[in-house]
Amino acid sequence: MFETSELNIKNQRVQRLFKILFLLMTMLLIAPVLLILGTLIVKGGSVISIDFLFTSPTDGMTAGGIFPALLGTVWLVAVALLISVPLGIAAAIYLSEYAGENWFTRIINLAIINLAGVPSIVHALFGVGAFVLFFKFGTSILAASLTLAIMTLPVVIVATRESLQAVPFAFREACWNMGATRWQTIRRVVLPNAVSGILTGVILEVSRTAGETAPIMFTGAVFFTPFLPQGIFDQTMAMSLHLFVVSTQVPGVPENLPYGVALVLIAMVLIMNSLSIAFRIYLRGKKKW
């Protein structure tokens, strides 16, 4: 009864064509990641050894390892997290549990979007003006981590708010009906149900923070220091800046050395990211409501 008309066949063909076209685009977008990873592994793999990871650079940074930069990045990320995680979670609790739908909430949301959208180098200028000069922290881990914390704050806020809002409203109502205060409800019911989602966001933030370069260039990270950081008022080397330095600023670096640095940096970031993604998928499977 229904004959396949010529128009119909043509339409089917157009559909198939577009499907293939879009698949091709997707592949072309994703192919560079694999190519890049492959090149980094091939060229950088030979450089990486236990010694490379745990010794200092030598011979004007043309030889030796990356330990001070690695340790510096750990310091910067840890201090930044200590600042941004509590603040971000507080902000998310406010937005999800207290804030009403009004102009004030709109402004907060706009501020969060803008905080995420301000260029990283402007964050760096802010860090110099505010933390290095005005608050007189000098170029230090503290100043750099504060700058990083403010820059990556939106990541924590958005992830936490999403996981708080995923907790069904009925859970809260049930708790209020028992006579619990708002905070008791948040602490005993909402947060325990959202904690894994928040953790996913925090891991993602670690990955973002570890890779940033511009915000720490003038606030706390230095090209080279013979000393390992001892406290938050010290300057430090950092992985991201170290990659910039060995690939552009130092003459006579052996060809494969920067590849090794890049490989370690990208491995750190991608491992963190994959953890966050795997964790999220695992949680989705476990979800009870």
Partner 1 sequence: MSGQPMTKTVDMAAFDRRNADWYIDKLVQALVFIGGISAIIFVVGIFAFVTKEGFGFILDRFDFQEFFTSPYWYPADEDAPEYGILALIAGTASVTGLAMLVAIPFSLGTAVYIAEFASGKTRETLKVLVELLAAIPSVVWGFIGLSIMNPLIIELFDVPVGLNVLNAGIILGLMAAPIMTSIAEDALKAVPDRYREAAEAMGATRWQVIYKTVLPAAKNGLLGAVLLGVGRGFGETMAVLMATGHSINMPGSVFDSVRALTATIAAELGETAVGSDHYQVLFTIGIFLFLITFVINLTADLIVRGIRKG
Window 220 to 279, contacts with partner 1 (CB under 8 A): 240-241, 243-244, 247-248, 258-259, 262, 265-266, 269-270, 273-274, 277
CA 247 to chain centre: 23
Taking the least distance from each CB to partner 1, the nearer of 103 and 231 is 103
Q: How far apart are CA 125 and CA 26, in angstroms?
A: 37
Question: Which of 95, 141, 167, 190 touches partner 1 by CB under 8 A?
Answer: 95
Taking the least distance from each CB to partner 1, the nearer of 33 and 53 is 33
The two tokens of residue 284 are: 């989705």
Q: How far apart are CA 261 and CA 47, in angstroms?
A: 9
- DSSP per position, 99-143: --SSHHHHHHHHHHHHHHHS-HHHHHHHHIIIIIIIS---SSHHH
Taking the least distance from each CB to partner 1, the nearer of 129 and 230 is 129
Question: Which of 200, 207, 235, 236 touches partner 1 by CB under 8 A?
Answer: 207
Which residues between 166 and 195 bind partner 1 (CB under 8 A)? 181-184, 186
Q: How far is the CB of 217 from partner 1 (least distance, A)?
A: 6
Question: Which of 46, 54, 82, 98 touches partner 1 by CB under 8 A?
Answer: 98
Q: How far apart are CA 266 and CA 273, in angstroms?
A: 10
Taking the least distance from each CB to partner 1, the nearer of 177 and 231 is 177
- Given a contact cutoff of 8 angstroms between Cβ atoms, the answer to whether 217 and 123 are in contact is no
Q: How far apart are CA 37 and CA 43, in angstroms?
A: 10
Question: Which of 82, 111, 174, 178 touches partner 1 by CB under 8 A?
Answer: 111
Which residues between 21 and 60 bind partner 1 (CB under 8 A)? 21-23, 25-26, 28-30, 32-33, 36, 39
Q: How far apart are CA 40 and CA 32, in angstroms?
A: 12
- Nearby residues of 242 by Cβ (< 8 Å), 6 or more positions away: 66, 69, 261
Question: Which of 69, 76, 77, 112 touches partner 1 by CB under 8 A?
Answer: 112
Q: Output the 3-class SS for 253-271.
A: CCCHHHHHHHHHHHHHHHH
Q: How far apart are CA 76 and CA 209, in angstroms?
A: 8
Number of helices (H), then strands (E), belonging to the chain: the values are 12, 2
Neighbour tally for 121: CB within 10 Å: 13
Taking the least distance from each CB to partner 1, the nearer of 95 and 198 is 95
Which residues between 114 and 143 bind partner 1 (CB under 8 A)? 114-115, 117-126, 128-130, 133-134
Q: How far is the CB of 267 from partner 1 (least distance, A)?
A: 11
Q: How far is the CB of 34 from partner 1 (least distance, A)?
A: 9
Q: How far is the CB of 225 from partner 1 (least distance, A)?
A: 15
Taking the least distance from each CB to partner 1, the nearer of 99 and 166 is 99
In angstroms, the first-to-last Cα distance of the chain is: 46
The residue count for binding partner 1 (CB under 8 A) is 89
Taking the least distance from each CB to partner 1, the nearer of 45 and 86 is 86
Per CB under 8 A, 69 contacts partner 1 = no
Taking the least distance from each CB to partner 1, the nearer of 109 and 196 is 109
